[in-house]
Amino acid sequence: MEVLDYDAVILGSGLGGLTTAIHASLKGKKKIRIAVVTKLHAMRSHSVSAEGGISGVLYPDATNDTVELHAYDTVKGSDFLADQDAVEILANSAADEIRFYDHIGVSWNRTDDGRIQQRPFGGMTIPRTAFAADKTGFFMMRALYDEVVGLGNVDIFHEHFATSILMDGGKFEGLTAINLANRQFKLFRAKACVIATGGCSRVYGFTTTAHSSTGDGIALAYRAGLPLKDMEFVQFHPTALVPSGILITEAARGEGGYLRNNRGERFMEKYAKSKMELAPRDIVSRAIVTEIREGRGYTHKESGMAYVHLDLTHLDARLLDERLPMIRELSIKSINVDPHDEPLPIRPAAHFTMGGIHVNTAGQIMAEDEGKPAAGMWAVGECGCVSVHGSNRLGSNSLSQCSVWGRLAGNAIPDYIASAGSGSDGAATVSRAEKEEARINALLESSGNVNPYELQGSLQKTMDDLVYVYRKTDELLKARQAVMELKKQYGGIYVTDKGNEFNSNLRDALEIGNLIDLAGVIVEGAIQRKESRGAHAMVEYPKRDDENYLKHTIARRKGDEMVLSYIPVTITKWKPVERVY
């Protein structure tokens, strides 16, 4: 085992992780030592797949937009579950983040006078989504990676898979990871830790997310005894390509695309008369599933999946090439359909984890004791639940969230490091890490006979079938049973690959363990929330129930048990009202 000492260790290299690294480095005058630990090559994190854009009130004078309006759109989109103080931070800071990306080289689409162009997005009353074609996340990632490379005090550990977070008395001690290149086990000791590992949409089989979106950081935090919040809220993106699940950005509708059922009707008229296709994602996803259930969808011959059409054929080819080039390329390459000539087959797919590690408005992870943050720990981006998205995120708010809380965490780290005494017992941390190493080695030598990929397959099928857009209590109970069964079977898995070089079989086995744990939390939270709010739509309880459920679910592991509790939602300016679009 190799022991490495740093001032701060950042787990994950997406937008959240890299913005944290940059701001911590700049704020610390490039003097503190930072490690970025990532299971991929740092520039390949799932943030690259973000397509449509980033929200922010850039030009209030020209567009009559205000930060209050952005904040209210977000709160209303969240079905009033968002913490409003957090939403105000987001709306106030988002525009600065867009300008920051401009200064580090993102190739924003521009207006005729050279300013940053913005386009309409679901649930936003005014076009306030800045974009770089339909590869916004990719361009932001490349700019951030290129910045980090030039900083000098940030060491990137590519392809290191984290296996545990070590804490002592509510304080961060260290992080263990396996170097995938040679299976060397490493302990990163540091004063500060930022978890930025993204969401866990791969608990579903039909998902827009990368194979790597397995929620590792959320699972590690959960196992370390840290609380998770609102995990039952999973966003289903309305327009994922059938059969692969590849994301067709909401911008396709923002630029004028229509949704049509098998009669050719623009069915959104029935569900959201004023917003039509640009209603928030939970509403559009439910509309699509309802159309399909009522027999107005199509059936995909090869996969058996039902779908409706996303129609872009009336859009100008030049507009497609300037603003949506990637989805055109993807459609042609993956299903041989040019969206300019034919409508695309789409259906809702798991897309975003609204819940995550329970953090306060400063991005600090909350410890066991209510109201007190764990010392030296932050969670930013999709894996941290602030909560700005509540029960349903608006499109293009995720990139702002990653950037805003990346900056907040990054700016706080140098001060924290300066004030935190050493105090910890380094030798005790090492011996705990050695135990963790022994656990991993035992997994490699285990004599089980269960193929972990089979568990992954049945987990994903369970979630796809039973915990989808509409949920029913009896189906959720079935899902709970199935997940518990999978957890038991996981104890008997077998890792076939015993090699040291790039042992992805071992990595996958660990990821699948993370997915099973998180699926359990999602299902349990869903069973207990007996209402319909945002992305959580219960067939038996079709109404939002503010009296009993205007509160965040907190899930925590005690021993081997999951314990649920609830905390209130912060409401500053906007009292909950009925949500109509």
Residues at the site binding another protein, with contacts judged by CB under 8 A: 26, 40-41, 43-46, 48-49, 58, 96, 98-100, 102-105, 107-110, 112-116, 135, 138-139, 142-143, 146-147, 149-150, 158, 181, 210-212, 243-244, 246-247, 301-302, 326, 329-330, 333-335, 451, 453, 456-457, 495-497, 499, 501-505, 508
Distance CA 9, CA 114 (A): 39
Active site residue 351: no
Give least dist CB 363 to another protein, A. 20
Q: What is the largest CA-CA distance in the chain?
A: 69
- Among 253, 309, 347, 544, the active-site one is 253
| Structure token pair of residue 66 | 């205000």
Comparison of 116 and 476: residue with beta carbon closer to another protein = 116
Distance CA 48, CA 301 (A): 31
- Among 183, 189, 237, 529, the active-site one is 237
- ∠ CA(86), CA(88), CA(92), 5° rounding? 125
Q: Does residue 105 come out as left (phi exceeding 0), alpha (psi in the -120 to 50 range) or beta?
A: left
Comparison of 267 and 307: residue with beta carbon closer to another protein = 307
Give least dist CB 403 to another protein, A. 11
Q: With beta carbons less than 8 A apart as the criterion, state whether 4 and 187 touch.
A: yes
Comparison of 262 and 505: residue with beta carbon closer to another protein = 505
Q: With beta carbons less than 8 A apart as the criterion, state whether 54 and 28 touch.
A: no
Of 156, 213, 164, the closest CA to residue 37 belongs to 156
Q: With beta carbons less than 8 A apart as the criterion, state whether 294 and 241 touch.
A: no
Active site residue 142: no
| Structure token pair of residue 303 | 């996969």
| Structure token pair of residue 371 | 């109201």
Give least dist CB 212 to another protein, A. 5
Give least dist CB 51 to another protein, A. 9
Give least dist CB 289 to another protein, A. 22
Give least dist CB 368 to another protein, A. 34
Of 49, 395, 54, 53, the closest CA to residue 207 belongs to 49
Secondary structure class of 167 (helix, strand, coil):
strand
Distance CA 417, CA 401 (A): 24
Comparison of 458 and 570: residue with beta carbon closer to another protein = 458
Comparison of 334 and 572: residue with beta carbon closer to another protein = 334
| Structure token pair of residue 568 | 């209130």
Q: Beta-carbon neighbour count of residue 454 at 10 Å?
A: 13
Q: With beta carbons less than 8 A apart as the criterion, state whether 280 and 123 touch.
A: yes
Rounded to 5 degrees, φ, ψ at 275 are -90, -20
Comparison of 49 and 532: residue with beta carbon closer to another protein = 49
Active-site residue numbers?
237, 253
